[in-house]
Chains A and B, each alone.
Chain A
Amino acid sequence: MKQRLESVLNWLDHRTGLPAAYRTFMGERIPASSGWHQILGSVAAFLFLVQAFTGVLLAFNYAPTPGDAYNSLRYILSELTAGRLIRGLHHWGASMIIVVVVLHMIQVFLYGAYKKPREATWMVGVVLLLVTLAYGLTGYLLPWDNRAYWGTVVATQIAASTPVAGPYLTRLLGGAGGVGVVTFARFYALHVLLLPPATMFLIALHIYLVRKHGVAAAPGDELVPTKVFYPAQVFKDTVAIFIAFAILFTMAVAVRVPLEQLADPSDTAYIPRPEWYFLFLFQTLKLFNGPLEVVGSTILPGLAILTLILVPFIDRGQMVKVTRRTVAFTFVALAAIGWTGLTAAAIATTPHEALVTQVDYSAPTDWIELSPQEMAGIAYFREENCVSCHAIGASSLGPDLTRTAIHKDAAWMIRHFKQPAEVRPGSSMPPIALSDSQLNSLAAFLLKLTPENASALENAPEFAARGALVYEANHCSACHMVNGVGMKLGPPLNGLAKRQTRSWVEGHFANPQKLSPGSIMPPYPLSPRDMRDLTTYLFALPE
């Protein structure tokens, strides 16, 4: 068997030379001081492969035009097996690759590994960092939801403010008439056509340069024999890759990546937030106003990148032990403090409205079609903890309520709620102590339950159930219509988000006549939480 394998390898070696090349690659001599601190480059390369793999999988089911992009992503998330996992890996992988690339850079910087003759290796690395950020910027637009759209509006406006090059950049990014279909096409092409081959070339060049000069030795290494790359160092790399992957996989499974509503260019109330790794830039921008804006948007970032590229030419001293590189440590510490401060400030100054619960369209949203009465039924269902005996979509102590076969009319259900055993002899269900109109709500909701919509309704957001509860408790439907149910004395409330801002609506509840003179609506002094839930619910309604 072993001989067989050897003869196959020999044959292949003769024809291609690949096995020999592999042996040379794995048999590289590395300095005795190499070890765990040099794993980060391998982790970054691995994460790039994960991004490529998950990116291709996403592209298999993704239509790269606005509108369709959003719908196809929703399709991936809600209808395809493992679609959510694959998008999660791609989304969190993007964040992780930035973390790892920056850590890799910090390690090389602290050890002074960029010194002669490794200047080119370092500079290619800086370009790779910029390419990584370009992926983040262009990929951000591709879901084409509100977050993607408005985030990109801000980014293109920053690009537009660049002196001299601004107008050209804007035109190049297709943002001349605002962010639109052209911008989308350009960002998509950059993200999947231009950047990947560029990255592969740069990574190959980077690794070639690393190999050409060898791994940077620490002072004192010349006195001890070198080691072989395989398997000891490869083992360390693999363990690090595995840990990184385990973290990434856990994030993808556990942390839901929301999908907001379809991009709406007329939604001027939307407060855009960039991705976390761009927040510090966003905050820097706020420090410079008026004519000085260009300092924050272009001059400072430009200088920072230039300095980064020129690091090997600024620090040209002899290689010294890492523990003695106090200046480098101070520099990294200062940069870390600055970055953390700016990011923290950006988070702290996020307006409250940007944090208000958005509807997550990556999950089924059947609940959006319910009438407020039915929706409030979900709140009662939860309050009364019905689910402890009536598991949704399964048989437990009580019957499975999604089975339409057991649905009776509302009157029967209400009688049953009040005196369970009287209507269904032998039932061990306790009576439900709710008012008639509340029981009516509960019955209306249960009649809407089917096996298909059960999990979507069961997972309806809390703000919507509570908002509908407030809506019902205040008898809003006596004057207003929602989803075709209610009266037309007041304006219908579907599409409210289009017509008014949140603060207007909340002010209007407190004092209707102040904001719309002549209105016959009485004031509703709601508690802050009720106000918030009701408004969020109304804003989430379909148009």
Chain B
Amino acid sequence: MENVEPAQVRDTAGMPRRALYTGAIYGLGALIAGALGVPALLYLFTQPKSRSRQEWVEIGDTTKLAVDSPVEIAFRRNRADGWKVTSEKNTAWVVKRPDNTVVAFGPQCTHLGCAYHWDEDKKEFLCPCHTSLFSIEGKVLAGPAPRPLDRYDTKIEGNKLLVGRLRLAAEKA
């Protein structure tokens, strides 16, 4: 019978208790929503911790590269795609510069992803789709390409050329 109060008592004491009730309902509700919502957002929006570390793939011998004469080299490597690891074919346009540094460009034009090629006569990279032109350093010379050619991370061990991740070039660099 604890819940039955005379009418006059309810009139005076009812309001603060009502406020307590509604406050608790919204407060506890918000706590639960937060405890579910925050992990859900983290789960959906944070990058997966990729446990596959940067994988270096040996793609060629630097002594066999001629200076300033780009060659396209194909190689296979594993790519982690969610819970799957797939082995896929990649290519790189590799250039040895006169100072003996080596640059490996991603094989796609930065405009719409067409495969470009090296024009030996003009000494330029030419994309056949919309005639974007890139210099031997990957800089945009002409055409609609918005940014220079993308580059792979590279390192040289002895004579071996290794490539790592493909890094997108900055716009208008």
Contacts and interface: CB of A to CB of B under 8 A. Distances in A.
Partners in one complex: yes
B37 to A, nearest CB: 9
A245 B31 CA distance: 10
A86 B32 contact: no
Nearest to B31: A242
A110 B40 CA distance: 39
A53 B43 CA distance: 13
Interface stretch (B48-56, B112-120, B121-129, B163-171): B48-56
A399 B131 CA distance: 56
B82 A35 contact: no
Interface centre among B18, B20, B31, B35 (most CB of A within 10 A): B35
Nearest to B53: A452
B55 to A, nearest CB: 12
Contact of B4 (A32, A78, A235): A32
B83 A364 contact: no
A369 interface: no
A68 B4 CA distance: 60
Contact of A79 (B22, B48, B53): B48
A443 interface: no
Given A75-B82, A78-B51, A225 B32 contact: no
Contacts of B84: 68, 71
B36 A50 contact: yes
22 contacts: A32-B4, A35-B3, A53-B40, A57-B44, A60-B44, A68-B84, A71-B84, A72-B83, A75-B48, A75-B83, A81-B43, A81-B46, A82-B43, A86-B39, A227-B3, A231-B25, A235-B24, A235-B25, A238-B25, A238-B29, A242-B28, A245-B35
Interface of B: 1, 3-4, 18, 20-22, 24-25, 28-29, 31-32, 35-36, 39-40, 42-44, 46, 48-51, 53, 82-84
B51 A224 contact: no
Interface in A58-104: 60-61, 63, 68, 71-72, 74-75, 78-83, 85-86, 89
A234 B25 contact: yes
Interface size class of A (residues with CB under 8 A): 35 or more
A235 B3 CA distance: 14
Contacts of B22: 231, 235
A303 B137 CA distance: 81
Given A238-B29, A242-B32, A452-B53, A63 B83 contact: yes
Main secondary structure of the interface of B (DSSP, over half): helix
A362 to B, nearest CB: 13
A242 B27 CA distance: 10
Nearest to A53: B36
A231 B83 contact: no
Contacts of A224: 1, 4
B1 to A, nearest CB: 7
Nearest to A63: B83
A225 to B, nearest CB: 7
Interface string A216-246: 0000000011010001101100110110010
A227 to B, nearest CB: 6
B42 A82 contact: yes
A238 B50 CA distance: 40
Nearest to B26: A238
Given A79-B50, A242-B31, 14 more contacts: A53-B40, A68-B83, A78-B51, A82-B42, A83-B43, A224-B4, A231-B18, A231-B21, A231-B22, A241-B28, A245-B35, A249-B35, A364-B51, A452-B53
A288 B49 CA distance: 51
A85 B39 contact: yes
A8 B39 CA distance: 33
Interface string A355-377: 00000000010000000000000
Interface in A101-117: none
A227 B24 CA distance: 19
A239 B24 CA distance: 8
Closest 9 CB pairs of A and B: A75-B83, A231-B21, A82-B39, A235-B21, A71-B83, A79-B48, A81-B46, A242-B28, A82-B43
A32 B1 CA distance: 8
Contacts of A231: 18, 21-22, 25
A97 to B, nearest CB: 15
Contacts of A75: 48, 82-83
Contact of B24 (A32, A78, A238): A238
Contacts of B42: 81-82
Contacts of B48: 75, 79-80
B42 to A, nearest CB: 5
A245 B82 contact: no
Interface string A444-462: 0000000010000000000
A86 B28 CA distance: 20
Contacts of A79: 48-51
Given A74-B83, A75-B82, A234-B21, A80 B43 contact: yes
Nearest to B41: A82
A68 B25 CA distance: 42
Contacts of B51: 78-79, 364, 452
Contact of A245 (B1, B32, B44, B46): B32
A86 B3 contact: no
Contacts of B32: 241-242, 245
Contacts of A227: 3
Nearest to B45: A81
Contacts of B36: 50, 53-54, 89
Contacts of B53: 452
A242 B39 CA distance: 17
Contact of A225 (B4, B20, B40, B44): B4
A485 to B, nearest CB: 23
A234 B43 CA distance: 31
A35 B3 CA distance: 9
Contacts of B3: 32, 35, 227, 232
B28 A239 contact: yes
A248 to B, nearest CB: 10
A202 to B, nearest CB: 24
A28 to B, nearest CB: 15
A245 B28 CA distance: 10
B28 A238 contact: yes
Interface in A252-287: none
